[in-house]
Structure 1
Amino acid sequence: MSIKDIIEGKKEWRAHVKRLKALPNDYQIVYKEIQKYLFKVGPVELTNGTGLLSGIVDLFEEGAGLGKDVLEVTGRDVAAFCDDLIKDSKTYADIYQESANQEVNKAMKKVINRRK
């Protein structure tokens, strides 16, 4: 990643935050909880710019523009809303599970080879 990429990323993030701050307070609160949830769950592409988060702000801007309550947009179960957003995304948990399985398989092959 070059300095130019870092600077561009910061510009994008600042523009993203500016859009977020323009939303009604209830939308901002729910967005922050979504953001925390997604950072904990860890979809891999979340670290590649603001794509998913920007899409959420797009959706929230549309909902706020229509005068909807934020929970009309997300539903009452915000965690389920998040899970649905990332259902087809690879997460860090997926990567860790794959790694753990590979390590177990390697270890088991060694055990089997020693028995021969």
Structure 2
Amino acid sequence: MGIQDIIEGKKQWRAHMARVKALPPDYRIVYGEMQKYLFKVGPVDLPDGTLLPGIVDFFEEGAASGKGVIELIGPDVAAFADSLIDGTPTYADEYQESLKKK
């Protein structure tokens, strides 16, 4: 990974966060909580994957249609986040595997 890759990654992240900031306040709050949760237990490929931009796309569509975020995802934010990563290897899975090996 060269310096150009790092710079490009930062540009992409800033553009992503600008999209998040353009969301209505309730969507931003839920996105922030989902992001924290996914960074803790999320899939191993989260930084390079399309999950977070996909969530923003989904939220932008919901906001454009006039739906509230809870109406869109349901009352349990963690359950919704878990459903998005169901079946993908997570950091928690890797940790459990490393404990089993020891």
TM over 0.5: yes
TM normalised by structure 2 equals 0.94
Give me the CA root mean square deviation: 1.1
SS in 2 for 1:47: coil
What is the CA–CA distance in structure 2 between the aligned matches of 1:71 and 1:45, rounded to whole Å?
27
- Residue 12 of structure 1 is matched in structure 2 by 12
What is the CA–CA distance in structure 1 between the aligned matches of 2:42 and 2:67, rounded to whole Å?
29
What is the Cα deviation at residue 102 of structure 1?
A: 1.6
Moved over 6 A (4+): none
Deviation track 1:85-112 (CA, whole Å, cap 9, x = no partner) reads: 0012111111111111122xxxxxxxxx
Higher relative contact order (CA 8 A, sep 6+): 2
Structure having the larger proportion of residues in helix: 1
TM normalised by structure 1 equals 0.83
Give yes or no for contact 2:62–2:69 (8 Å, CA) kept in 1. yes
- Residue 46 of structure 2 is matched in structure 1 by 46
User: Can you give the 5+ residue segments of structure 1 that lack an aligned partner in the other structure?
Assistant: 104-116
User: Can you give the 5+ residue segments of structure 2 that lack an aligned partner in the other structure?
Assistant: none
Which residues in structure 2 correspond to 1:96-107 (within 5 Å)?
96-103=95-102
Give % identity: 67
Q: How many residues are paired up? A: 102
Larger Rg: 1
What is the CA–CA distance in structure 1 between the aligned matches of 2:19 and 2:55, rounded to whole Å?
11
